[in-house]
Amino acid sequence: MKTLFTQTERITVVLLTLAVCRASEYEYISWKPDSGSHIYGKTPQCIDIPEDLRLCYNVGYHQMLLPNLLEHETIAEVKQQAGSWVPLVHKACHTGTQVFLCSLFAPVCLDRPIYPCRWLCEAVRDSCTPIMEAFGFPWPEMLTCDKFPQDDVCIAMNETSATDTPKTSDSSAVCPPCDNELNSDAILEHMCASEFAIKTKIKEVKRENLDRRVILHRRRKPVRLGNLKKKDLKKLELVLKNGADCPCQQLQNLGQNYLVMGRRVGKQYLLTGIHKWDKSSKAFNKALKKMKNHKCPSFETVFK
């Protein structure tokens, strides 16, 4: 790969060592455009990272380059695309997830655009893909790791953070759709990754190879049907993808009502979220009220 940096620029534009747990330790140089510089076909500019850009607002620096490294030219487009990744960061599948994503969605202002290192991309991809697959989303082509530099100046992490073992690599880690805190944000995030939501009980759970098939009680009350037709609701069975061995406490309590969420992937309906139906919970009631009008990130435009 031909480098865009001279030896002098390599010394001036230092390799960013980014620690997720110590975000204040970022090193960066304020970006000042060269006369007539048009890196993306549009004059780059530094802007403050807005508070509602949840993915990167607390990443450790305060300004970002626009257009970004994914060729998003407006902050509205950045917010729409970046919002789809917030739930993955919350799942903590790898310590470098936020660093990797924000280096692309909200790159720090430097004299030259600097991409994430290929090994960082591969580490995040390998750790987080099982989580994404549980919700029916593939690793997107726009984040193909081969396109990122291997030996060039690139965004990295310090050695301690890079070697941290993600909690989800543990075989005893809770199945992603079942790892739910009973708060409105968590419920809405699962709802946004789903196509439908219903109130029902679990009748039976069967293990099928690496998955678990979840058979629902006959009584099923629609909460949000989306594209699911009523005739399909009657015969609906869900699959907990790669969930044969991970714990899911909700699937052990067959007498409890649950808010069950899912989405169709191919010929299967995947279980993407399961929350205790608790009308005594303020957070649960708040989420139910918001479901009808809540504006979700556009997942389908990101995970292609």
> What is the model's pLDDT at position 3?
39
Q: What is the CA radius of gyration of the chain?
A: 21
> What is the model's pLDDT at position 58?
87
Class of domain 7-169: mainly alpha
Distant-in-sequence, close-in-space partners of 45: CB < 8 Å, separation ≥ 6: 33, 65, 66
Determine whether 34 is exposed, middle or buried from the number of CB atoms within 10 Å of its CB (0-12, 13-18, 19+): exposed
Eight-state DSSP code of residue 89: H
According to DSSP, the residues that pair with 46 across neighbouring strands are: 65
> What is the model's pLDDT at position 174?
87
User: Is cis: bond before 113, omega within 30 of 0?
Assistant: no
> What is the model's pLDDT at position 63?
94
> What is the model's pLDDT at position 31?
36
Helix (H, G, I), strand (E, B) or coil at 47: strand
> What is the model's pLDDT at position 41?
57
> What is the model's pLDDT at position 5?
42
Q: What is the pLDDT along the chain (304 residues), one digit of tens a residue?
A: 333 444 333 432 333 443 333 333 333 333 334 433 444 556 789 999 999 999 999 888 999 999 999 999 999 999 988 988 988 998 889 999 999 999 999 999 988 889 999 999 999 999 999 999 999 899 999 999 999 998 778 998 754 444 454 444 444 588 999 886 667 888 888 888 889 999 999 999 999 999 999 999 999 999 988 888 888 998 999 999 999 999 999 998 888 999 999 999 999 999 999 999 998 999 888 888 888 777 776 655 555 4
97: its two tokens? 């997830």
Run of H or E residues at 289: helix 282-291
- Each residue of 285-301: pLDDT tens digit? 888 888 877 777 665 55
Pairing state between β 237-240 and 258-265 = unpaired
Q: What architecture is the 176-301 domain classified under in CATH?
A: Beta Barrel (2.40)
Residues 199 and 279 sit within 8 Å (Cβ to Cβ): no
Residue 2 main-chain phi, psi, to 5 deg: -75, 130
> What is the model's pLDDT at position 183?
77
d(CA 176, CA 17): 30
Determine whether 274 is exposed, middle or buried from the number of CB atoms within 10 Å of its CB (0-12, 13-18, 19+): buried
Measured torsion, CA atoms of residues 33, 36, 39, 44, in degrees rounded to the nearest 10? 50
> What is the model's pLDDT at position 181?
67
Its pTM stands at 0.77
Of residues 31, 61, 32, 64, the one with CA closest to residue 47: 64
**What CA–CA distances, in Å, run from 76 to 53, 60, 165?**
9, 21, 35
> What is the model's pLDDT at position 298?
63
Domain ranges of the chain: 7-169, 176-301
> What is the model's pLDDT at position 70?
93
Run of H or E residues at 46: strand 45-48
d(CA 134, CA 132): 5
According to DSSP, the residues that pair with 116 across neighbouring strands are: 155
- Each residue of 10-50: pLDDT tens digit? 432 333 443 333 333 333 333 334 433 444 556 789 999 99
The crossing angle, in degrees rounded to 10, of helices 97-105 and 118-134 is 110
